[in-house]
Structure 1
């Protein structure tokens, strides 16, 4: 493959995980074009023409040009939502955003011969928590008892039955306080008395709590599986305590490696970040698989192994990497 065919990185500017992979590709002298669909149409332009041989044309940012026929791989990370020019009415802006999503988004998802990590439509399909949990059960993982409901009575009954229950958001959706500061909805333990009328406003996910003594983050890149044991969290949601945790690379148990690969195949994923809780008996309970999970917060030796594996996929377009 020509060294001049670029890797297209689709992500926002503030993305340390994408930055680390781009740095590695730059070290290997692999050309990179980075764009954020949220910059369209102000700082991104597309010219795509469909002919007998498929889509031809290019995508331009303020600093780069990518030939649609010469993109070797696409690293689809965390782009911002599609935007509209300022000054439009809400109805016109909404129309422009949707046209951009299905127009530019359709072009970015239809690059002939490009290797995607992951394809955006595979990411979309794999983001739904109910689908994740059902697939995990089918793959043989241990999955905590779970209730999805907007019925307060069912929620209260579930909590009473299992006694120790947590609430988990179904998606990491942007949420801000009255002053515009970003807020995070964490995993929290709930009581029957907290199951008020607010439950009826939308679907909630309640799950029997796993009393974990450690957590596992299992990152999969193609056929490579990297498992990190996480210990030392003083609270229920270890993501709130990054600086207080210990991280240790461990060998992935054979049965776990087999199941995560089966799960990945079921969704057509190349990359996935799995979270498990390990109970006192050493049993690993499936929490979720983020098809676009972060890893740049790991200590550098752990991060670099994952970065190298992703860079290999992008550099070689997935060829000759899997048995």
Structure 2
């Protein structure tokens, strides 16, 4: 375990996951450098040099780190867009600054000299839902029948062949902002009459449709290196959480840590290897008949609420991984 070279943590100022893991690292005497990308223009200076293939970050408190040479590992946790530099008010100028800043940060992914958790390029590929479903099926999972289309006729035919209604969900961005506010798109079960009434709008945007599969309970499985934390969510006991458990506060749902079937665990780890990941959060369901169904993989998913709810030592496992 490294206690000399620092761990580089790329995240945002408000990140309880990073806070928890940093507390673990501090207790172990492990150096780290935290880069909060929202404060990039006010608290950091950056130098990326082609000569020695390195990037140096310095903060306003005099701390610095040179990546990859002086870094043990990098945790690409939850970076966000940087706040506009003071005095920048024009939208076009702000957009250009955001684009250039993002390009600089994305350039870090070309350095493969140190362990990544995870490399953002691998995250981008693995977060796409259609490739996930194809790979999950190849690895032996049952997956929901799925159609992605902007053809209302095909959508209606799919819905007509689906028992129990159609599930509509976002392919990528579940959250978005408008001048009138911010919104989150939850997965939604739509009945036949409502679907028929609105299906023509599918022509406006490719839409992900799935058969709805009845659940006995749900599983949130977080894989941290070789450690597997499987949490059972009894979402079906709360009417508001039956379709999408994210619609309610976690404290309304009973959580319990469980042991996965060996074949299920092996398949999840195989998916991680295929996507080049060392961290991932999986959403699975278990049907009333006891069959495990793959829903999706979030390569940078949330997990700290599970530790707070169940006591599972997930922050410690993440610190172990960063030091390994």
TM-score (norm 1): 0.89
* Matched ranges for 1:42-121 at <5 A: 42-51=42-51, 54-56=52-54, 58-63=56-61, 64-68=63-67, 69-82=69-82, 85=85, 86-87=87-88, 89-106=90-107, 108-111=108-111, 113-121=113-121
Q: Which residue of 2 aligns with 1:207?
A: 210
User: Gapped runs of 5+ residues in structure 2?
Assistant: none
Write the distance in 2 (CA, Å) between the matches of 1:90 and 1:179.
17
1:1-323 alignment to 2 at 5 Å? Answer: 3-51=3-51, 54-56=52-54, 58-63=56-61, 64-68=63-67, 69-82=69-82, 85=85, 86-87=87-88, 89-106=90-107, 108-111=108-111, 113-163=113-163, 164-176=165-177, 179-180=180-181, 182-191=182-191, 192-231=195-234, 232-234=237-239, 235-241=242-248, 242-300=250-308, 302=310, 304-316=312-324
Q: Deviations over 1:113-160 (max 9, x none)?
A: 321111111111111111111121122111010010111221122111
Instruction: Classify the secondary structure of the residue corresponding to 1:147.
Output: strand
Give the CA deviation at 1:254: 0.6
Cα distance change of structure 1 residues 139 and 162 upon mapping to structure 2, 3 Å threshold: same
Match of residue 321 from structure 1: none
Shift of 1:263: 0.4
Contact 2:144/2:212, CA 8 A, preserved across alignment: yes
Q: Deviations over 1:202-247 (max 9, x none)?
A: 1111100110010011111122222111113423111123222111
For the Cα contact (< 8 Å) 1:216–1:229, is it kept in 2?
yes
* C-alpha RMSD over aligned residues: 2.1
User: 2:167, 2:189 within 8 Å by CA — same for their partners in 1?
Assistant: yes
5+ residue gaps, structure 1? 317-323
Q: Would the aligned equivalents of 1:38 and 1:79 in 2 still touch at CA under 8 Å?
A: yes
More helix per residue: 2
Report Cα offsets for 1:88-107 as digits up to 9, x if no partner: 6444443333332222321x
